[in-house]
Structure 1
Amino acid sequence: MKAVQLPKYESTPELIEIADPEVTSPLDVVVRIGGAGVCRTDLHIIEGQWAEKSGVTLPYTLGHENAGWVEAVGSAVTNVAVGDAVILHPLVTCGLCRACRDGDDVHCTSSSFPGIDSDGGYAEYLKTTARSAIRLDDALQPADVAALADAGLTAYHAVAKAARKLRPGDRAVVIGAGGLGHIGVQVLRALSSVEMIVVDRSAEALALARELGADHTVLADGTQVEQVIELTGGDGAEAVIDFVGEGGAIEDGVASLRRNGNYYVIGYGGTLAVPTIDIISTEINFIGNLVGSYNDLAELMVLAAQGRVTLHTSAYPLADFGQALDDLDHGKVRGRAILVP
């Protein structure tokens, strides 16, 4: 099969021929890829930022946002069948550890992460397990939802946490309305009646946020914190959901938070530096968010099938992976780029 592999860090990935994956275990599922999301994390992987953390042996196949059709199954697989359209939870998990049994499988103690520390879905086929496969509603196509497997899942995981705390009349600030943020806006609107304020540097992104349900939009022009404080009656917001995590977003977000507010960190790249006296004197909380559970993804697929969460995508043939990565790197992708074999 054709696959896009990274031969070494800080180099251009290569489209090569490798062996097709095969079923070797009773719970294996081989999927014919219908869409693989192109994520900024892939750029970070290529740059070597994940080298130490992932410990992966190069070369290997990129791609951790994957959906397609079941091509083959092991003898013990009962939840999906050959021909089913599926989206894949990004982790391959054991099902036996305490985290898995708690439904918190993103923290499985013996998981692998295709596209991060094992072969991923920038390819024609991918091997995963039955525990990772979620059958898609007939209204959904793999290429249309593939990026929800990570970008959407991460957004849902964080926003669902926030929604469980927020009450009618509360205010939430969403920082960033791009690839992850525009999904987060939709999820927040679907799950909560909160008054939503979206902050972004792009007027186009803010226009999309208004279409998707934002109550207020604020252009990040240097006065964004003052505008948020004014919109929140001088108090700040009960929640800040930060899909950027760098370039001044953290400082703005902390300044936009009210006393006893919750700051949800999703975007990364910057450094959180807050005096401890400020944290204890206002009782603000910082909450990290890493991908999401199988159940989170299943719930997100319900919203997608209902049309309450839609993904804005730009499709590229698998052979044009380099263009997709370059377009993403230079901010030319609206929503999410999807590779289609």
Structure 2
Amino acid sequence: MKALQYVEVGKPPVVVEVPTPEPGPGQVRLKVTAAGACHSDSFVMGLSEQEYAQFGYPLPMTLGHEGAGIVDKLGEGVTSVAVGDAVAVYGPWGCGTCYQCAQGKENYCERAAELGITPPGLGHDGSMAEYMIIDDPRHLVPLGDLDPVANVALTDAGLTPYHAIKMSLPKLVAGSTAVVIGTGGLGHVAIQILRALTPATVIALDVNDEKLALAKEVGAHHAFLSNAEAPAAIEKALGRKTVTAVFDFVSIQPTIDLGGALSGVETDQVIVGVGAAKADVGMLAKPYDSTIRSPYWGARAELMEVLNLARTGLVHVETEVFSLDEAPQAYDRLHEGTLRGRAVIVP
């Protein structure tokens, strides 16, 4: 079968021929119908050899942690899914038995690192292939009649912002304001989730005019360039200097600083993007009861909720479709920042 693999650190991914995998006991094989390309993949492929070694991901590795498919073959003992089922893949795999996993929060598994458990496409072979192996059927969520190509990105680009926003819902009441920094793949979905679940005024910030236009299309009340003038523009639009919540899908020092500048009493500053930066904390450094948190992906039940939002038409993902042979070009476009929304690979 064909697969898109990361073969050598620092080199672009390549399409290769590999053996079609067979499911072992308790496993499921999917015939992949759609796979999503994500900035997390680009981040991993941008690491130096020394940095990559810290992750310990084996090479070659088939990419793709957003996946959807048709159940194609069952391993011994699997009874909870059937051949022919249309499913989406829940990506943040855990041990299945710790306290967090017992709640469906495998994204926060307490033993994943200890046991060497990693998501598909971020540690072992993922969805950018004609077939993929799912270690346990509990990692499959019914897709039903949802179009896999249009909705596969919801397994990360929908689930991640949904989880981040859900934790701030008690604050996002009438009269509140939510700022979304970075309105690309995850950010444009976050705007829709905010509009679907809250009465908050939603403000989009980005350095790209086309992405700001997309933000307005999907429901942002205001859209401003993400620069030094952004706080003044927001103050002019709102009549006040601070906001209720900031969802940062970029997470570099300038955006962390910007989120801090917009924080007031009880503001949630939510660092969602893959990045690292510094921020001052403490009673004399931050407004009272303001928070900084860094959520990761989301729970299995939350993926079901996101897919239900899609079924009701409240959330959709802007997608550009590529064949498996064109997948390297999708990552080039992702790196260049020229995608409108998400890239979806169709084997």
Common topology (TM > 0.5):
yes
1:66 aligns with 2:67: yes
Aligned positions of 1:1-341 closer than 5 A: 1-26=1-26, 28-48=27-47, 51-108=52-109, 109-110=111-112, 111-128=117-134, 129-138=136-145, 140-246=146-252, 248-279=254-285, 281-341=287-347
Deviation of 1:103 after TM superposition, in Å, equals 2.5
Deviation of 1:10 after TM superposition, in Å, equals 0.4
Q: CA 1:221/1:286 → structure 2, altered by over 3 Å: closer, same or farther?
A: closer
State the Cα deviation string for residues 246-300 of structure 1 (Å, max 9, x = none).
Answer: 2611111111122121111101334122253544553310011111111111110
Gap regions ≥5 residues in structure 2: none
**CA RMSD after TM alignment:** 1.8
Identical-pair percentage? 37
State the Cα deviation string for residues 306-333 of structure 1 (Å, max 9, x = none).
Answer: 1111111111110112111111111121
SS in 2 for 1:290: coil
State the Cα deviation string for residues 184-210 of structure 1 (Å, max 9, x = none).
Answer: 001111111112111122222222222
Deviation of 1:222 after TM superposition, in Å, equals 3.3
State the Cα deviation string for residues 53-90 of structure 1 (Å, max 9, x = none).
Answer: 43112111111111111111234434432112111001
Gap regions ≥5 residues in structure 1: none
CA distance in 2, matches of 1:151, 1:207: 19
Deviation of 1:127 after TM superposition, in Å, equals 0.7
Deviation of 1:101 after TM superposition, in Å, equals 0.9
Q: CA 1:165/1:310 → structure 2, altered by over 3 Å: closer, same or farther?
A: same
Retained in 2: the 8 A contact 1:250–1:270? no
Deviation of 1:231 after TM superposition, in Å, equals 3.0
TM-score normalised to the size of structure 1? Answer: 0.93
Retained in 1: the 8 A contact 2:191–2:215? yes
Deviation of 1:241 after TM superposition, in Å, equals 0.9
Deviation of 1:116 after TM superposition, in Å, equals 0.6
Matching residue's letter, 1:64:
H
State the Cα deviation string for residues 192-235 of structure 1 (Å, max 9, x = none).
Answer: 11121111222222222222222222233531111123333324
TM-score normalised to the size of structure 2? Answer: 0.92
